[in-house]
Amino acid sequence: MKIGIIGGTGGMGKGFALRWCENHDVMIGSREAAKAEEAAKEYSSLAQVQYSTIKGKISGKDNVTVSKESDVLVLSIPYENIDAICSQLLPNVRDDCTVISPIVPLTKTDLGFEFISFKDKKPSAFELVHKYMKNKSRLVSAFHTISEKKLIDPKLVLDSDIFVCGDAEDSINIVRQLITEIKNLRPILLGPGSLSYLAEVATPILLNAMIKNKMKNPGIKII
């Protein structure tokens, strides 16, 4: 399976690439192909040290090429960039491509981290991405509460639950499988895409709890 990561040169993109290249071909996306290629070389070197055998490879390409060639496309981008990026890239995505949104409408205020959709009465990240999808059922919301610092170190066990929201069963199953391929992560289905705000709002809750209680890169586990 070809997994493309838009924003692949960032921390989350690096983490996903290092975790999934063990079994899949991963394409790092950037506005500049050269920057993506440089990151891909770095990630490939790190992966070779980590794994005894690697079935996939990591390559770097421009965002448009990645969006065209991916079986699964991860949007590792800020909320405020959704309109600019998705309007350009999502029209290029194949109808059978599963698109994953880990995006959170988040802002830092004097009170702490707040959920933009509630605070400023703006759409959820899922809603914004959804309007640019050709095959709207293939959008899945997931990975909102994963620790970036832990994700980028494949030696660390994450041991947490990942909330999943979506509308197409086959796309949901693909995402659930990718979650379980990261050791000790467990997918928890919350419902259809219209309930994605429930998964997104978990991020500011977790961040505020982390800061106020001096926790170190916590996750969420339902017991």
Question: At 86, which CATH number?
Answer: 3.40.50.720
pLDDT tens, the chain, 223 aa long? 999 999 999 999 999 999 999 999 999 999 999 999 999 999 999 998 888 788 899 999 999 999 999 999 999 999 999 999 999 999 999 999 999 999 999 999 999 999 999 999 999 999 999 999 999 999 999 999 998 889 998 888 888 999 999 999 999 999 999 999 998 999 999 999 999 999 999 999 999 999 999 998 899 999 9
For residue 204, give both structure tokens: 């500011």
Give the pLDDT of residue 24: 96
Amino acid at the residue 20 = W
Q: Is residue 145 part of a domain?
A: yes
Residue pair 161/222 in contact (Cβ under 8 Å)? The answer is: yes
Q: How many domains does the chain have?
A: 1
Give the pLDDT of residue 123: 96
Give the pLDDT of residue 36: 96
Q: Is residue 218 part of a domain?
A: no
Q: Is residue 85 part of a domain?
A: yes
Closest CA to 116 of 52, 197, 5: 197
Q: Is residue 181 part of a domain?
A: yes
Give the pLDDT of residue 106: 94
Q: Is residue 219 part of a domain?
A: no
Instruction: Please tell me the pTM assigned to this model.
Output: 0.95
For residue 9, give both structure tokens: 């040169």
Q: Is residue 39 part of a domain?
A: yes
For 124-182, the DSSP string reads: -HHHHHHTT-SSGGGEEE--SS--HHHHT-TTS---EEEEEEES-HHHHHHHHHHHHTS
Q: Is residue 220 part of a domain?
A: no
Domain hosting residue 153, numbered range: 2-212
Q: Is residue 78 part of a domain?
A: yes
